[in-house]
Amino acid sequence: QKEVEQDPGPLSVPEGAIVSLNCTYSNSAFQYFMWYRQYSRKGPELLMYTYSSGNKEDGRFTAQVDKSSKYISLFIRDSQPSDSATYLCAMSRNTGGFKTIFGAGTRLFVKA
């Protein structure tokens, strides 16, 4: 079993749709949960991060962490064609020597 599971997609939605991207994980020690957006031919860009459980909202983006279910989500409201990218979840533990683990990434296409 992988430490982090993420459906690679692709996920295709019409403009304006609400997008839900998800990851599951197995290690209950993870404390930081991140979402990165990666456009084609670019490096990953940190979109949002959450420490421990709960929700975090930033404009059209909402990150949710459910530690009891070991499940994290990223919601994109009013999706735009410019949101078309690969979204990678990542998680880490704030203890020396522990690597950040990345999901496989979900490719999202938002059609105009």
Partner 1 sequence: SAVISQKPSRDICQRGTSLTIQCQVDSQVTMMFWYRQQPGQSLTLIATANQGSEATYESGFVIDKFPISRPNLTFSTLTVSNMSPEDSSIYLCSVEEGTRDIQYFGAGTRLSVL
99 binds partner 1 (CB under 8 A): yes
82 binds partner 1 (CB under 8 A): no
Indicate the SS3 state at residue 81: helix
Q: Which of 70, 73, 92, 109 binds partner 1 (CB under 8 A)?
A: 92
61 binds partner 1 (CB under 8 A): no
Q: Which is nearer to partner 1, 56 or 93 (CB)?
A: 93
Least gap, CB of 46 to partner 1 (angstroms): 6
Element (DSSP H or E) covering residue 57: strand 54-58
> Do the beta carbons of residue 90 and residue 101 sit within 8 Å?
yes
74 binds partner 1 (CB under 8 A): no
Which are the contacts of 106, defined by CB distance < 8 A and separation ≥ 6?
A: 6, 7, 8, 9, 10, 11, 21, 86, 87, 88
* Rounded-to-integer distance, Cα 74 and Cα 57, Å: 10
Note the residues at the interface with partner 1 (CB under 8 A). Answer: 8, 31-32, 34, 36, 41-46, 49, 51, 88, 90, 92-94, 98-100, 102-105
